[in-house]
Structure 1
Amino acid sequence: MPPTTLFDIPTPSLILDRAKLVRNIRRMADAARSRNVALRPHLKTAKSIDVARLATEGQAGGVAVSTLKEAEYFAGHGIVDIQYAVCILPDQLERVASIQQQGARLTLITDSVEVTRAICEKGKALDTTFLVQVELDCGEGRSGILPDSGELIEIARLAHEASHIRFAGVMTHAGHSYQCRSIAEIEEVAEAERATAVMAAERIRDYGIPCTTVSIGSTPTALHARSLDGVTEVRPGVYMFGDMFQAQINSCGVDDLAVSVITEVCSHHASLNRLLINAGALALSKDRSTENMPDDVGFGLVADVRGHPLKQRMKVARVYQEHGQVLLADGVSCEELPVGTRLRVYPNHVCMTAAMYNHYHLVDSDQGDGCEIIATWPRINGW
């Protein structure tokens, strides 16, 4: 008989609260609608068709992914408008063509004239058409070209004029919005992101090439942009789940966090005022994104089995491969949390945490005590 509550499942396990997920999805949908832009959910964190169906409900239907395995998976479940939001490699193009044969329209990105030429050549060789967007650097300095660069027009020209390739617009991602510490700072980064994409699109149009898609990304900027004039779509992703880092940069609140890891106390070290849980680096990740934030939660915030943060706040202070070390708060004894006590941990970086699991145990905090498992949703991993 399958487990029916959070008291029955093996630990550690990944928990997804459907009620919070739905609220988070609606919040971003409302933000996109109020700015008159399309919402293309980025599914690199969720990696689940069940989550995708909720996130695309009422939207244009397009999604973004970060691996070709995700593209294959979602295409296999009937999603036909997919952006592969990582610079494409020429040796991946046969695989892209195979995905397109499933009926999907896969948009590729590049910041290279050389790669664009390779895409043209491969399209002819495979007798297929590839859609290409130019990736722009709006300030993060990770990948992409500057909007005033010569390469921008050359890539757009090649993709527009050559056979077996089609120019599909421009895109950028303000990943450096994660370095912001106030909504005002996020607003400034969001405006730079918008201006970069719009400037590039205008340059391309001035050259006589249509540029219908102007795509930006990042959860903080999608939520807090003062204006998205000239932008056609946003591609946020982590907004669906939230995490402790996002809660500290004003993307959500702790009460909005939809994903947690259920774990059990497995050992005590009373003389050092510590206990161990059976969720360590592999179950929680080693991401320390809140390390330099005002509220450092170590490797995750500890909550009770129902998902409520403990009255005397505690965090996972250290992780080993399969163990997490929790420092007991003042006045809390090991006897209050005996071996076998079930706890939940809200992670620093949910994308990294979820990556170790192949399914979600679904609960609903709006139903009863929120401990009943109402479904199990599969998710995929790999490249």
Structure 2
Amino acid sequence: MQLNELETPALILDRARMENNIKRLRERLRPFNVVFRPHVKTCKSADVARCIAEPGTPVTVSTLKEAEYFLQHGWTDILYAVGIAANKFAHIARLMERGARMTVVLDNRETGLALAAFCKERNLNLPVLLEIDTDGHRSGIRPQSDDLLDVASAFDRSRSGSGAWLAGVMTHAGDSYNCEDTDSIVALAEQERSGAVTAAQRLRQAGFDAPVVSVGSTPTAHFARTLDGVTEVRAGVFVFFDLVMTGLDVCKQTDIALSVLCTVIGHQKEKGWVITDAGWMAMSRDRGTAKQRVDQGYGLICDQNGVVMDDMIMQQANQEHGIIIHRHDSKKTPMLPVGTLLRILPNHACSTAAQHGSYKVVAGSQEIEAEWPRFSGW
């Protein structure tokens, strides 16, 4: 099948670009001698995940549905990297009973005490990481906060026997997405590293083993100058990249492996609008580039071959209609013929991919070489 035979909108994955992106990060991390624990929330696909890491190697997930799916496909070393809630304890236990080596994350004493009691009752040996806030981005404990040892005290200092035990710390430098230049990303990567290492050292001084120091975001993974004291790195969107990553200078537009194929279905000539059949249900409502130097609207327009059309963006999005316009002057919008196929590069690969049920896989050509299913939900 060729691209022009597809029903649109459709999610297109350029395998060659994806493989280059994966190779780039793996080669960059190799000198640091750290475990790479990719975040599979971005792809939600075993076919894509096999290109990143073989089954059996460590992965990170953001939902327990992801944990179920990737366990079924052979990945057993799974970090659930969202703060655990008591209503998920039983699900974690079921995953472990089926052979998953789960690790969970929390940042408060209440959950720690409840989890410790649950694991002791169920005779579960469950590693726990304390979430550390190294940049004020969202949840977590500040590295120097008194809360760190207070939360840690919910767990026994010895890891012998069954029960939940304190395996270390994890952090996510999400504020890297707000950096204005690569120097800022470099600085934030060091802030991420040093904060996590400091927290782990405090736990060890208090008598906890805390062997794991887990850090990661796609920007900081690409720009960290040192990872001294870090044991593992996580990243997710690197596999596809997107316009937010381009705006941060983490990648180039030609590195973006994901696009949405759409069809021109009409015009509003007096407004300078080209109408397509890909609205926010195909692209998502993510406007992550709005805060960056260049606002890409709901996505950047390419021709059918994936070549960027200068200054053409999806400016507006209805549920099933996308409005394409020249970013500077609507009078310059080319009235592309009805039936023209276009490809739209996404602001945020994770949220755009989540709108679709499969990837149509190409390798730099018009021929579709495979269709890889993906899933969503909780």
Which residue, out of 116, 124, 127, partners 1:128? 124
Q: What SS class does the counterpart of residue 315 from structure 1 fall into?
A: strand
- Residues 148-167 of structure 1 mapped to structure 2, 5 A cutoff: 148-161=144-157, 163-167=162-166
Checking the alignment, whether the CA contact within 8 Å between 2:128 and 2:167 is kept in structure 1 is yes
Within 1, Cα distance between the matches of 2:331 and 2:293? 20
- Aligned to 1:106, the other structure's residue is in SS state strand
**Structure 1 position 186, deviation (Å):** 0.5
Amino acid at match of 1:232: T
Are 1:48 and 2:42 matched, yes or no?
A: no
Counterpart check, 1:87 vs 2:64: no
Out of 8, 13, 17, the residue aligned to residue 14 of structure 2 is 17
Q: What is the percent sequence identity of the aligned residues?
A: 43
Q: Gaps (5+ residues) in structure 2?
A: none
Q: Which amino acid aligns with 2:40?
A: L
Partner residue in 1 for 2:248: 249
Offset at 1:332? Answer: 5.0
Tell me what 2:312 maps to: 314
- After superposition, give the CA deviation of every residue in 1:16-56 in whole Å (9 maximum; x if it has no partner): 11001100001110111122222110111111111111111
State the TM-score, normalized to the length of structure 1: 0.94
1:291 aligns with 2:286: no
Matched, 1:380 2:378: no
Distance in 2, Cα, partners of 1:206 & 1:126: 30
Q: CA deviation at 1:330?
A: 5.4
Q: Give the TM-score taking structure 2 as reference length.
A: 0.95
CA contact (8 A) 1:136 1:145 kept: yes
Q: Secondary structure at the match of 1:159?
A: coil
Match of 2:234 in 1: 235
The Cα shift of 1:292 comes to 2.8
**Matched position secondary structure for 1:251:** coil
Q: State the distance in 2 between where 1:169 and 1:175 align.
A: 20
The 8 Å contact of residues 317 and 326 in structure 1, kept in 2 or not, is answered as yes
1:168 alignment counterpart: 167
Instruction: Indicate whether 1:107 and 2:103 are aligned.
Output: yes
In the alignment, residue 303 of structure 1 is paired with which amino acid? C
Q: Which runs of 4+ in 1 moved over 6 A?
A: none
> What is the distance in 1 between the residues matched to 2:157 and 2:273?
65
Match of 1:72 in 2: 68
Deviation at 1:321, TM superposition (A): 0.7
CA contact (8 A) 2:263 2:342 kept: yes
Contact preservation (8 Å) 1:130, 1:165: yes
Instruction: Tell whether the 8 Å contact from 1:282 to 1:356 is kept in structure 2 after alignment.
Output: yes
Tell me how far apart the structure 2 counterparts of residues 254 and 161 of structure 1 sit (CA, whole Å): 49
Unaligned runs of 5+ residues in structure 1 are none
Residues 89 and 273 (structure 1 numbering): CA distance in 2 closer, same or farther, change over 3 Å?
same
* Structure 2: distance between partners of 1:128 and 1:354: 35
Rounded to whole Å, the distance in 2 between the matches of 1:25 and 1:160 is 39
In structure 1, the partner of 2:58 is 62
- Return the alpha-carbon distance in structure 1 between the equivalents of residues 87 and 334 of structure 2: 58
Whether the 8 Å CA contact 1:171–1:214 is kept in 2: the answer is yes
Alignment partners' CA distance in 2, 1:166 and 1:377? 38
Aligned length: 372
1:153 CA drift (Å): 2.3
Task: Give 3-state SS (helix, strand or coil) of 2:311's partner.
Answer: coil
